[in-house]
Amino acid sequence: MSPALEKFPSLTIFSGWIASLALYHQGIAPLLSGTLSLLVTLGFALVFTRNTPKRFWKVLFLAVLVSFSGAFWMDQGLSRPESFPEKTEVSIMGTVLSSRTWGNRFAVVLGSSEERFLMFIKPPATIMEGDRLHIEGYAFPLRDNRKDTFNEILYWKSRGVVREIIPGRISPVKKDSPSIHTWRSALRRKIDLQVPQFLRGYLLASWLGIKDPELRERHGRWGTSHLLAVSGFHVGILAGLLWLLLPRGPAGSLIISFFLWAYVLFTGLSPSAVRAAMMLQMILLGDLLNRPLNAINSVAVACMAMLLFNPWIFWDLGWRLSVTAAFTIASFSGMSISPGKAFLLSPLIWITTAPLVTGAFGAMPVAGLLINLAAIPLYGLLFPVFSVMGFFYLLDIPFPEMAVLPLRAFLSIWNGTCDLVCRIIPCQLTWHPLLVFFSASVIMAMISISTGSGWKRTTLALLAVNLLVSSLSTSLVV
Amino acid sequence: MMVKKIFQDKKGLFFLAGGVICLFLAWLMVSSFSGLVPDEEPTTVAGPLPAAEKQEISPEDAGEEKPEAPWVVYITGAIAKPGVYEIHPDSRVFELVEQAGGLTSRADTLRINLAMKLQDGVHVHVPALNESGQREDIPLSGSSEPESMADPPSFSFQASAGTGTGERIDINRADAEELQTLPGIGPKTAASIIQYRSEHGCFSCPEELIRVKGIGEKKLEKLKTCIFCDS
C-alpha cells in the first residue's frame, strides 16, 4: 500500500483540509472547497504510492470521501450567514469565562446559557474570571478592528465568541456554586499573594495559562515565548512524569488520562493543550489495545477532530504553532535518527515555526535558535521543580528560605546568560515568503524520508507541494 | 493487455505522476481562484484630509516635551481621605491611595486596579462593598451618563477638551454642523456618524460611537464629556 496511506492516512486528509480552509477568506464555495481538498488528499496519497495491495483502493476511496465531505461541511459551517440583527437590546446573566488585558482595556468573555459574548471594560473596573454578572446593554456582531494582519473577529470566533456587548450596566450576582473558573480565580489570587516573584510568573503560566507581563517580555526577547504558553511541552512533561511514576496497565492509563484532561481543563482549554492531550490520549489507548499508533497519524487525527468541532480554530496562532511543532517532532521521530542527534529537533522546530512567528509578530530573535537548544531540556526539568516549590508556598508548608537560594541563583545566572546571548546575536529574522517554502520543504522532506521514499520521489513531492504552497503562502501564515 | 502490463511494471511511476498531476490541478485551482470580490475600480475616491481632522494631533503626538508639573487628581469612595491631590507625573493608583490615607475596610479591593497608571485630571473612585458585604454595581469607566447608573464613573477624564460652548450635544439628534463642533470631528467623521445613525438607528450609549468609522479609543475619551444620547 502507499506508505502515506498505510502509516498516516489522516495526514493526507488533513493536508486537503488545510488547503481548503486557507482559501476560505477568498470566498471559496463549499463544493469547490471539497474538490480542492479531495485533489490535495489524492495527490498526497498517490505521490508516495509504489504498489497496490488488497485494501488500497478502498482506503484511498475512504480518504478521498472523508476529505471532500469534511472540507465541504466545514466551509458550509463557516460561510453560514449570522442570523443576529445589527443591534439588539440585551439583558443577560452569565459567568466570566476569561478576562485578559487588551491594550489599555480588559477583554472579557462572558458565557450565558445560550452563547458567548465579548465585552471591553476599562480599568479600574476589574472583572475576575468566574464572576457571575447581570449585564444590560446592546449586543452587536463582532467588529473587525484590523490595523495590521491580526484579525480580531477570527481570534474571538476561534474562542467561541459570537457577539460583542456594549454594556450599559453591570451588576455582580451571587455565585451559584463553585466552578472551574472560580477555582482558577481563587488559585490565581493565592499565587499572586503567596508565591515569591521569581516563581510566580512560571506558576501562573504552567498552572493557569496566564502570562506574567514581565516574564512574557523577557521570554519574547529570548525567543522562548512558547515555554509560557500551555502546550504539548507542558502536557508532555505531566504525562511523562505520570508515566514514569505509575504502574503500566489500564489503571495507570486511566489515572494518566484523568490528570491529563484535568490539567488541560484547569489551564483554560487552550487549543494547543487540547491538541496535545488528544494526541497523548490516542497514544495511551493504542498502548492499551496493543496497537501502537503512528505519531504523525495521531497529530493529524487530533487536529482533524478539533477542526470538525470548531473550524475557526484554524486561525488560532497558538493552535497553528502547536500543530507545526507537533508535526515536526512526529516526522523527526519517524526518521529513525540516532538519539545523539536529538538536539537537532529544537532548531528544526525553530525553522518550521519561523513563518508563523514572523508572520504574526514581524520578527523573531535569531538568538532563540541557540537559547532553545538549552532552554527546552532545562525548562523540562525546571517546571516540575517550580510546581513542587509552588505547593510548598501555597500550602504554607514551612521550609528554610535557604532551600530556594540555589534555584534563585541559578535562574539569575540563566537570565544573565540568555541576555548575553541576545547581545552577542542581536539580529532578528523577519518575515519573508521564502520562509513558508523552507518550512513546508523541511516538514515534507522529513515525512517523505519517514515513508522510505527515494530522493527522486521526495524531490518531486517537494516541488509539487511547494507549487501549491506558493499560492497559499500568505493565507497559510496570516 | 499490453497497457495493463505496462501499468503493472511501472505502477509506482504512474502513481507518482498521478499524484503530481492532482497537486498541480489543486495549484491551478487555487491560483486561478480570484474570490468573490469583483475586480472593479473602486467607486469612491479618498479626498484630501479635511482641515478639522488635523485637530486630532495633540501636542503629545507631535512629540512636544511635556512640562513636569505635578498632576492633579481626584479620589473618592472607600478611601480614608477623599479629595483632590497633587501627585508626581507617571504615578499609579496605589501611590494616590497611599497619599489619600489608604483604603477603608469597606473597600472592594477586587474592583480597583492599584497598579493602573494615572493621568492628569482623572477621577478615581474606589468602590465599596455594601451593607451585606456584597459588591456594588461595577462602575463603567468614563461614561458620560452617570445619572443612568448606580455609581458615578470611576475613572473619568475631566480634563478632556470641551465643545467650546460648554453644552453637551445629543449625538442622536445633532446634524453634521453641530457634530463638527465636537473635538476631533471633521466633516468626514460627522458624515460617518450620521450614516451610522441612519443605518443602525439611534445610539444606545456614547460608547457606541466607537463603532463609527474614524472614531477610536482616544477620540471617544475626548468626546465623552461633550456628548450624551437621548434615545
Q: Which residues of A touch B15 (CB under 8 A)?
A: 2, 46-47, 49-50
Does A153 touch chain B if contact means CB atoms closer than 8 Å? no
What's chain B's average pLDDT?
69
| Gyration radius of chain A's alpha carbons | 23
Straight-line distance from the first to the last Cα atom of chain A, in angstroms, rounded to the nearest whole number: 36
Distance from CA of A421 to the nearest CA of B (A): 32
Q: How confident is the model over A111-123, as pLDDT tens digits?
A: 988 889 999 887 6
What pLDDT is recorded for position A179?
Answer: 85
User: Which residue of B lies nearest to A132 if distances are taken between CA atoms?
Assistant: B135
Distance from CA of B45 to the nearest CA of A (A): 20
Distance CA A53, CA A155 (A): 45
Predicted TM-score (pTM) of this structure: 0.73
Cis peptide leading into residue A124 (ω within 30°): yes
CB pairs under 8 A between A and B: 166
User: Regarding predicted confidence, which is higher, B173 or B137?
Assistant: B173
Distance from CA of B181 to the nearest CA of A (A): 26
Nearest to B124 among A50, A124, A168 (CB): A124
User: Which residue of B lies nearest to A471 if distances are taken between CA atoms?
Assistant: B31
Distance CA A204, CA A191 (A): 7
pLDDT of A387 above 80: yes
Taking only residues 17 to 36 of chain A, the set having a beta carbon closer than 8 angstroms to any beta carbon of chain B reads 19, 23, 25-28, 32, 35-36
In which residue are the cell numbers 512574557 written? A216
What pLDDT is recorded for position A418?
Answer: 95
Residues A316 and A152: beta-carbon distance below 8 Å: no
Report CA A376 to chain centroid distance, whole Å.
17
Classify the complex by whether its ipTM is higher than 0.90, answering yes or no. no
What pLDDT is recorded for position A474?
Answer: 62
pLDDT of A39 above 90: yes
Does A87 touch chain B if contact means CB atoms closer than 8 Å? yes
What pLDDT is recorded for position B63?
Answer: 43
Q: Which residues of A touch B29 (CB under 8 A)?
A: 32, 35-36, 39
pLDDT of B173 above 70: yes
Backbone angles phi and psi of A131, in degrees to 5: -65, 140
What pLDDT is recorded for position B43?
Answer: 44
pLDDT of A227 above 60: yes
DSSP state of A267: T
Distance from CA of A209 to the nearest CA of B (A): 21
CATH 1.10.150.280 for the B169-228 domain, yes or no: yes
Q: H or E element: which one contains A315? A: none
What pLDDT is recorded for position A124?
Answer: 65
SS (H, E, C) A321-337: HHHHHHHHHHHHHCCCC
Identify the residue among A2, A21, A122 best suited for mutation to test binding to B, counting B beta carbons within 10 A and taking the highest: A122
Least confident stretch, A171-180, A376-385, B2-11: B2-11
Interchain contact, A23 vs B33, CB within 8 Å: yes
What's chain A's average pLDDT?
87
Q: How confident is the model over A265-324, as pLDDT tens digits?
A: 999 888 899 999 999 999 888 888 888 778 888 899 999 999 999 999 998 888 999 999
State the CATH architecture for A88-173. Beta Barrel (2.40)
Confidence at A233, pLDDT banded by 50, 70, 90: very high
Confidence at B147, pLDDT banded by 50, 70, 90: very low
pLDDT of B154 above 80: no
Q: How confident is the model over B193-205, as pLDDT tens digits?
A: 888 887 777 787 8
Q: How confident is the model over A355-385, as pLDDT tens digits?
A: 999 988 888 999 999 999 999 999 999 999 9
Highest mean pLDDT out of A140-144, A166-170, A254-258, B207-211: A254-258
User: Regarding predicted confidence, which is higher, A462 or A257?
Assistant: A257
Does A173 touch chain B if contact means CB atoms closer than 8 Å? no
Q: Which residues of B touch A465 (CB under 8 A)?
A: 23
Distance CA A18, CA A356 (A): 15
Confidence at B110, pLDDT banded by 50, 70, 90: low
Distance from CA of B178 to the nearest CA of A (A): 25
Domain boundaries, chain A: 1-81, 88-173
Q: Average pLDDT of B89-112?
A: 79
Identify the residue among B22, B23, B79, B195 best suited for mutation to test binding to A, counting A beta carbons within 10 A and taking the highest: B23
Q: How confident is the model over B42-75, as pLDDT tens digits?
A: 444 444 444 333 344 344 444 444 456 788 888 8
pLDDT of B106 above 80: no
> In sequence order, what are the residues at sequence separation of 6 or more whose Cβ sits closer than 8 angstroms to the Cβ of residue A10?
A297, A300, A301, A304
Q: Which contacts (CB < 8 Å, 24+ apart) does range A93-96 have?
A: A93/A132, A93/A133, A93/A134, A93/A135, A93/A173, A94/A132, A94/A133, A94/A135, A95/A130, A95/A131, A95/A132, A95/A133, A95/A179, A95/A181, A96/A127, A96/A128, A96/A129, A96/A130, A96/A131, A96/A132, A96/A133, A96/A181
Domain boundaries, chain B: 71-157, 169-228
DSSP state of A228: G
Distance CA A477, CA A353 (A): 10
Highest mean pLDDT out of A156-165, A396-405, B68-77, B93-102: A156-165
Q: Helix (H, G, I), strand (E, B), or coil: what is residue A80?
A: coil
Sign for the CA dihedral angle at A352, A355, A360, A364 comes to: positive
Distance from CA of A419 to the nearest CA of B (A): 27
User: Which residue of B lies nearest to A15 if distances are taken between CA atoms?
Assistant: B23
Q: Average pLDDT of A163-187?
A: 85
